[in-house]
């Protein structure tokens, strides 16, 4: 007598608090309803994998259908979706065991049996806790599972609306598959789009396109199946078998991009943690590079099944990297939305980050033009790591490239800079601000240029932050040319500059003291400058605190408050300063106007606006009027 004849229709209650758990499933565990299809395809792939191993000892189980396959059939008019496989299938008791109890899985039991067996390799099985199947109730108000165990005659149907009970009954011959399982979802009204071809094809290609079983789609009843996934995962193939064109095509698919990758990182990690990584560094800047959330775009797979593209597989300063990681160790279970908390993922993140940085170093050494293309596109983002990632700061600084006052159109490394430092130079000097052309016009550079001292031109907003984060290179600190004393007196000029006569020097010193009294609380100090050679004045920041550029950034963001008072530096050798200093104290108003105009000039040269345009205009008119007499 067959199993079907012995066991009639039977209604049973779930062996767990189904209503509560299903509510959790629908509202908490999964943030995206699309995952139900991923879960059902994963279960189908599991069933095919189980059959493959069982057939090693019993080849007759395969019958005349040895090749595994999964078929998804849509019926938009009836709001019905079917996922069918030719895997191992389930008997009546296995249905009750696997589908009647949430958080119990036939896969887990199978793994336990497999581990106890000798001489068999580990199976690539998904779904260790058996909750994924119930995600179907997010989109269906009734679910049926028709199944025939491989090697058995009888077929069974499991049915439930997910509200506390299910039934198991003999299945009609024409409804059950010859072998395997067929899951039929009766879709809710608001989920009918899941019976549309384009929706199904999009989800399968995005989330399950690389499971180890081919997937076909039947667009509507009576249509021919069309293969939409071939069951082959590119990243599982040896690198020697993958062409550059194949890598590029896969990159464009996974990244949604049109450029070619500048660098491809493909490797398999073995040992304590096993995973495969396939990552691409783009050659063009993606549109979301400076998205405020700074999220990465690496996809996480577990045994070739897509899990999420929201796992932090790389630090945020490598968010431009596209690709995926496929882990053999991570569990595919109810916590997969929180899987990034796993220590396994932390180990993967560390290993992947180190590998990408190492390959970028090799690229910089072996293919300078390509690396410079990468740096031009992503240098500002990589420099975020200098500020955020202390552990890798030295490595990132070695990788960094800079434009300088002496480099022209070429990029310079910090090693290049240090090698070219002048005698008695103790710091790496930089100027942060706008575009390089604007920076080159700054008066702060004059004294450095006169001594042949190279200055880094930092034109990215992040530069103002990482240079203040305690960074140094080769024991040499970074110092802004707009902050504190320039400390240039110890660095010799190629040619001695002309200096004023002693009496002129004395009068200039008196003029500087007068300027300090005149400007009062508007400045921190007024002093003679050794950084100016052709300009009369400039503004600098005090020795401690932010430099001039960082102050501007903080002020524009509303976080700077009143800010530190600037220091006005005056070039004691400038002809205008010498002439003004020679004026007697009898023309007090003129001298006061001249000092205020010099202060306003320094602000304009620093990119600031005049605080009081009316007062500025009045002073300028009085000075011009006097000059015209």
Annotated binding-site ranges for ATP:
39, 43, 85, 90, 105-106, 128-133, 336
Those residues whose C-beta lies under 8 Å from the C-beta of residue 485, and which sit 6 or more positions away, are 530, 543
Provide the annotated binding site: 39, 43, 85, 90, 105-106, 128-133, 336
Query: Residue 307 is encoded by which pair of tokens?
Result: 């899990």
SS3 263: strand
Instruction: Give the containing element (helix H, strand E) for 614.
Output: helix 613-628
Burial of 586 (0-12, 13-18, 19+ CB in 10 A): exposed
Contact of 75 with 220, CB cutoff 8 Å: yes
3-state secondary structure 415-468: HHHHHCCCCCCCCEEEEECCCHHHHHCCHHHHHHHHCCCCCEEECCCCHHHHCC
Q: How far apart are CA 488 and CA 4, in angstroms?
A: 96
Other beta carbons within 10 angstroms of residue 262's beta carbon come to: 19
The residue behind tokens 């690396």 is 371
- Secondary structure class of 291 (helix, strand, coil): coil
**Which is it for strands 567-570 and 140-148: parallel, antiparallel or unpaired?**
unpaired
Geometric angle at alpha carbon 257, from 252 and 261, rounded to 5°: 65
Q: Encoding tokens for residue 345? A: 């993922």
How many whole angstroms separate alpha carbon 451 and alpha carbon 179? Answer: 85
């Amino acid at each position: 007598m067959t199993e079907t004849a012995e066991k009639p229709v039977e209604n049973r209650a779930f062996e767990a608090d189904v209503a509560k758990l299903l509510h959790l499933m629908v509202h908490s565990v999964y943030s995206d309803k699309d995952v139900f299809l991923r879960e059902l395809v994963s279960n189908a792939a599991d069933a095919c994998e189980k059959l493959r191993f069982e057939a090693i000892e019993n080849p007759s189980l395969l019958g005349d259908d040895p090749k595994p396959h999964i078929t998804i059939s849509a019926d938009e008019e009836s709001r019905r979706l079917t996922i069918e496989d030719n895997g191992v299938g389930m008997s009546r008791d296995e249905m009750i065991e696997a589908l009647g109890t949430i958080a119990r899985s036939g896969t887990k039991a199978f793994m336990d049996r497999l581990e106890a067996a000798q001489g068999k390799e580990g199976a690539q099985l998904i779904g260790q806790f058996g909750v994924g199947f119930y995600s179907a109730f997010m989109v269906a108000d009734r679910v049926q599972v028709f199944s025939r165990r491989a090697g058995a005659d009888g077929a069974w149907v499991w049915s439930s609306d997910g509200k506390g009970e299910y039934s198991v009954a003999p299945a009609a011959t024409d409804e059950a598959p010859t072998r395997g399982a067929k899951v039929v979802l009766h879709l809710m009204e608001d989920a009918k789009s899941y019976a549309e071809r384009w929706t199904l094809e999009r989800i399968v290609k995005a989330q399950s396109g690389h499971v180890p079983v081919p997937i076909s789609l039947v667009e509507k009843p009576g249509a021919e199946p069309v293969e939409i996934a071939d069951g082959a995962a590119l990243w599982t193939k040896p690198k020697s078998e993958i062409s550059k064109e194949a890598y590029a095509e896969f990159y464009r698919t996974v990244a949604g991009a049109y450029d070619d990758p500048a660098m491809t990182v493909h490797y398999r990690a073995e040992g304590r943690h096993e995973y495969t990584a396939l990552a691409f560094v783009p050659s063009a800047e993606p549109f979301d590079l400076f998205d405020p959330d700074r999220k990465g775009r690496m996809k996480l797979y577990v045994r070739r099944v897509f899990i999420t593209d929201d796992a932090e597989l790389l630090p945020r300063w490598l968010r431009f990297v596209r690709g995926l990681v496929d882990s053999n160790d991570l569990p595919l279970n109810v916590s997969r939305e929180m899987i990034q908390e796993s220590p396994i993922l932390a180990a993967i993140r560390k290993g992947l980050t180190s590998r990408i940085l190492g390959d970028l170093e090799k690229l910089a050494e072996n293919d300078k033009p390509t690396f410079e293309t990468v740096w031009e596109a992503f240098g500002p983002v990589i420099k975020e790591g200098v500020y955020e990632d202390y552990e890798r700061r030295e490595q990132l600084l070695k990788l960094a490239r800079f434009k300088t006052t002496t480099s022209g159109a070429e990029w310079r490394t910090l090693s290049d800079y240090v090698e070219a430092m002048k005698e008695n130079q103790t710091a790496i000097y930089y100027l942060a601000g706008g575009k390089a052309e604007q920076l080159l016009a700054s008066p702060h550079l004059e004294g450095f240029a006169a001594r042949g001292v190279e200055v880094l031109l930092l034109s990215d907003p992040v530069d103002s932050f990482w240079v203040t984060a305690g960074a140094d290179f080769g024991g040499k600190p970074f110092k802004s040319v707009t902050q504190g004393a320039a400390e240039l007196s110890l660095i010799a000029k190629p040619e001695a500059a002309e200096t004023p006569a002693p009496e002129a020097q004395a009068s200039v010193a008196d003029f500087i003291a007068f300027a300090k009294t005149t400007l009062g609380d508007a400045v921190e100090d007024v002093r003679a400058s050794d950084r100016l050679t052709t300009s009369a004045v400039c503004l600098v920041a005090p020795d401690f605190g932010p430099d001039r550029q960082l102050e501007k950034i903080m002020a524009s963001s509303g976080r700077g408050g009143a800010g530190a008072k600037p220091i006005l530096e005056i070039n004691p050798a400038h002809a205008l300063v010498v002439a003004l200093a020679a004026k007697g104290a009898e023309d007090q108003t003129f001298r006061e106007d001249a000092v205020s105009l010099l202060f306003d000039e320094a602000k304009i040269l620093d990119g600031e606006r005049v605080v009081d345009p009316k007062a500025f205009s009045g002073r300028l008119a009085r000075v011009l009027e006097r000059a015209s007499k």
